[in-house]
Amino acid sequence: MERERVPILVVGGGYAGLSAATLLAWRGVPVTLVERHPGTSIQPKAFGVGPRAIELLRPVPGIEQELSDIWAGIGDNLRIAIARSLVDPDPHFVMEDGQEELAFLTGITPAANVAAPQAAIERVLRRRAEALGADLRFSTELVSLDQDDDGVTAVIRGKDGERVVRADYVVAADGYRSPLRRMLGVPTSGKGVLGAMCSIMFDADLTGLVEDRTVTLWYLQNDVFTGAIVTGTGVGAHVLGVNHAEGESAAGYTDERCAELVRVATGRPDLNVRILDKTTFALAHVLADTYRAGRVFFAGDSAHTMPPTGGQGGSTALQDGCDLAWRLWLVVTGQAGPAFLDTYDAERRPIGAMTADAQLANLGVRMPPEARHGYPEPLQDSAAGLIGHRYHSTAILDEPDDDGSVLEDPRVPHGRPGSRAPHVVLDWEGRRISTIDLFGSGFALLASGEGGRAWVDAGRQVKERLGVQLMRLLVDVELMDVEGRFGQAYGVNRGGAVLVRPDGYVAWRSPDPVEDPAATLERVMRQILSR
């Protein structure tokens, strides 16, 4: 049996796996991805990717623009409605268009809100990963996996037979059923399987039912079924999701039956319908009790399967993949110690649970009143809320006087360690940029004013001593603070400095100058990186 060696093996070619492979390859880490399906998703699946996920992807040159171009010509309007069918004379609108949320996001991030279908985004990620040198193998499945102190031995099976892959670490992005999670005996919690759905992708002329430049997510409750339909997608197809009875076979969803269900959903009994694809999936709320099992790390649905009600499941999966990529890069290149990888579970598992719980609560709101018993009250799960989330781990050095209190608006990032670094407009040699544009390729040390030069010199020394990728910049010297907000937003005075991680999160800050900045910064970096 042939044997191969690769630093990182990714299992699963969805959002989490493809984002991990893309960001690892961009950082120069050899990566092999295996996916049992012959290609990326055919179904549109989830619609929309929040700006926090785009912030993590955008350091790859051109990728943000390419993702935004998918949706060119389609408006930003999004509506969510509860009705019996698309011709219901009195639908109940849960959300009208989301413009207020979009306006708020514009003030806290320069990243786009990409309202594109998952299938199209996956194709972009696949092309990018392959162009960057990632080895993506479709129609290939994981057969077995064993771990030891030095690495992981996996057997994979593809069209050319079985082979052995030896890797340092594995990203388990293998979906909500997650064979790897079962193999490794990782326990789960949550409400469990809530039901099953058949997703029907169809083409039909919905003139008079669909508004131009508006995507509408309809939650349908009628005498035939409960489910949801997404219209106005602009991709030549619409999607109807139908809840089906426990134990009902997917084979029962013939093209004829699916077409009739579409007619019920649209309220047009004579509608000409062409069925393009159909698939069944579980509606579930399942949370892995740990995101790490030895050298295997869980991401996406294998870590947190959540109802789609809320639209943050895909974004959370993308963030998992991107987040693992920079952490694994630091460890396999020797910039961080192996214990640094424990911070992935510490930071990402709370936000995965928070998002899943919020979407479970949303599901309860959108169900018939008699079925809402046992569902939690709605939570804040907006894209802005995810940007404002604060991390806690050994990769974050909290300040002695930080009581962990929530600021006035928890959606707005601030300069405290553990917060996503604030968006501040800067001028760099006549070009307007955001502080967010500075993050991604490595650590960034931002010092304030002429008094910050000592920090820049210290950063150069620490970079050489520790062999870490560390960019050093002076605000109001090299970079001009256009709006005069940097000091207040980041909580630093003249001569102070802030250290930002590759994911754009504040790891540490010194509001004022210190006596020995080189010794201070080296101590900080060693502690953060588990060195």
C-alpha to C-alpha distance for 460 and 243, rounded to whole angstroms: 59
The answer to whether the CB of 285 falls within 8 A of the CB of 355 is: no
Q: How many CB atoms lie within 10 A of CB 322?
A: 27
How many whole angstroms from its chain centre is CA 106?
Answer: 19
C-alpha to C-alpha distance for 131 and 297, rounded to whole angstroms: 25
Cβ burial of 214 (10 Å; 0-12, 13-18, 19+) is middle
Q: Please give the sequence-ordered ranges of beta strands (E in DSSP) within 131-174, or none if there are none.
A: 135-138, 141-148, 151-158, 161-172
For the question of residue 219 being annotated catalytic, the response is yes
C-alpha Rg value of the chain to the nearest Å: 24
C-alpha to C-alpha distance for 300 and 408, rounded to whole angstroms: 31
- φ and ψ at 427, to 5 degrees? -115, 120
- φ and ψ at 28, to 5 degrees? 85, 15
C-alpha to C-alpha distance for 362 and 306, rounded to whole angstroms: 11
DSSP for 468-531, please give it: --EEEEEETTTBEETTS-HHHHHT--TT-EEEE-TTSBEEEEESS--S-HHHHHHHHHHHHTT-
How many whole angstroms from its chain centre is CA 144?
Answer: 27
Given the residues 15, 169, 219, 391, the one annotated as active site: 219
Which of 484, 490, 488, 359 lies closest to 421, judged by CA?
A: 490
- As annotated, the active-site residues are 219
